Chains A and B, each alone.
Chain A
Amino acid sequence: MRAGNPLNDAPDGILAARAADGDTRAFEALMNRHGSLMRVYAAKILGSTAEADDVVQDVFIQAWRQLDRLADPTAVRSWLMRMVGNRSIERIRRRKDLVNIDDWDAPVASHETPERIVEIRLQMGELAAVVAGLPAGQRQCWVLRELGGISYADIAEELDVPISTVRGQLARARRRIIQEMEAWR
């Protein structure tokens, strides 16, 4: 399936440099390589795979326009992941206009139903299921910090909440995950 294109074996830095010069085949190879990771990352922040598809496509279109401004082409993966984080937050903020802030931390805000969580547990393992079961605010803060490596200050700014809220959400998320991962105790 991936045979035939020698670019599939090229290092990220080479692909990003070529794409910045306008080589769509190199860009295609980058999408092939990193698209899936970006999508599952977005899905974890958003709690929705349908929206994750949109985010990843938007990010790649934006990346194509901005690649020539990427100072270090070898860091293209973290650059893309960073954009996925930002785009996903944008969507959450748009949603939040519709949702009462008081509901943010409510367990019912979790996207996944109990049946779905059992299913995830079987398919993906315990950690994924526990993460999917977190309240939305906790899940977002945890994913952005732990998987995206984004600073408290940046998460707070993007989500438009105080830093103390982010810290609190993150601590609660970590606590809850560790408590629920029985095998770790």
Chain B
Amino acid sequence: MTPEPPGPLESEPERLLDGLDPEDLDGHTIEELGDYLDDGREPRDPGIEDSPGCQIALDALVRLRAESWAMLEVEALADRDRDQSWIQNVIANISRESRPGRDIPVRHPDPATRLHITEGAVRGLVRAAGDGTQGSLVGRVELAGDVTVPAQPITVTVTASVPFGPNLVVLAQLVRERIVEALRTHTELNVIAVNVAIENVHAPGTAKDGR
């Protein structure tokens, strides 16, 4: 008299999709059900929600949606082993289109000589100074103020991502000091403020989820 374990067929004898025609879906169409799903099943439609045929079809549509994206990610994973030399082609292509930005004058003893460094180079300098401060990474660098005129007051604002762990205030201060120091050493900008906005805290190796 041992009770038989319920097999999958016994537990769900009704869940067979006969078809996806309106007669199988209590008069509804697959198109309608797709729209209903897109709207987040709101407002609730009793005609759909109470129809067994529609429920099975909706389940299948939901599953299709989830598996579709998973399919793409699995294929992308396999694609990663492929030759990635195209990346270097793109780099070669875009390197000719650098972003110099504004020209920042640098004094020279000979009045006939004009020197300048580009805003793009200064941004690179700021990034290099801030990067690696206990694992921090600089994001955007903004130079506010007229950098093309000597001695004009300039405010530098950077965004940053920092590793989880260290005290954020101390770390931001450290990043700030490094940037101030680098700008003082390598430029003649009259920097009146350096603002560091920490936008992200990452655990090393898992920081990719910035979305």
Contact = CB atoms under 8 A, between A and B. Distances in A.
Contacts of B64: 127, 146, 174, 177-178, 181, 184
B154 interface: no
Interface stretch (B84-92, B176-184, B185-193): B84-92
Interface in A62-82: 64-65, 68, 73-75, 77-78
A57 interface: yes
B80 A171 contact: no
Interface stretch (A9-17, A90-98, A100-108, A110-118): A9-17
Contacts of A127: 64, 67-68, 71
Given A10-B161, A17-B159, A125-B74, A171 B30 contact: yes
The main secondary structure of chain A at its interface with chain B is helix
Contacts of B26: none
Contacts of A64: 90, 94, 97
Nearest to B59: A184
Nearest to A151: B38
B172 to A, nearest CB: 15
A168 B79 contact: no
B207 interface: yes
Contact of A27 (B77, B94, B124): B94
A178 B62 CA distance: 11
Contacts of A28: 87, 91
Interface in A124-154: 124-125, 127-128, 131, 146-147
Interface in A29-49: 31-33, 35-37, 39-41, 44
B61 interface: yes
A35 B91 CA distance: 13
A174 B75 contact: no
A11 B208 contact: yes
B202 to A, nearest CB: 6
Contacts of B123: 21-22
Interface string B26-70: 000111001000000000000000000000010011011101110
A40 B72 contact: yes
Q: Considering residues B87, B131, B205, which has the most beta carbons from chain A within 10 angstroms of its beta carbon?
A: B87
B202 A11 contact: yes
A127 B70 CA distance: 10
Contacts of A6: 131-132, 135, 137
B90 A60 contact: yes
Nearest to B121: A22
Given A12-B210, A18-B139, A167 B31 contact: yes
A146 B67 CA distance: 10
A57 B72 CA distance: 19
Contacts of B160: 14
Given A10-B207, A22-B123, A65-B97, A185 B17 contact: yes
Contacts of B120: 21-22
Given A6-B131, A18-B140, A13 B200 contact: yes
- Give 10 closest A-B pairs by Cβ, nearest first: A11-B210, A22-B99, A171-B31, A17-B140, A17-B139, A12-B210, A36-B79, A37-B76, A14-B139, A36-B76
Given A13-B200, A127-B67, 6 more contacts: A22-B124, A35-B87, A36-B77, A40-B72, A147-B68, A170-B34
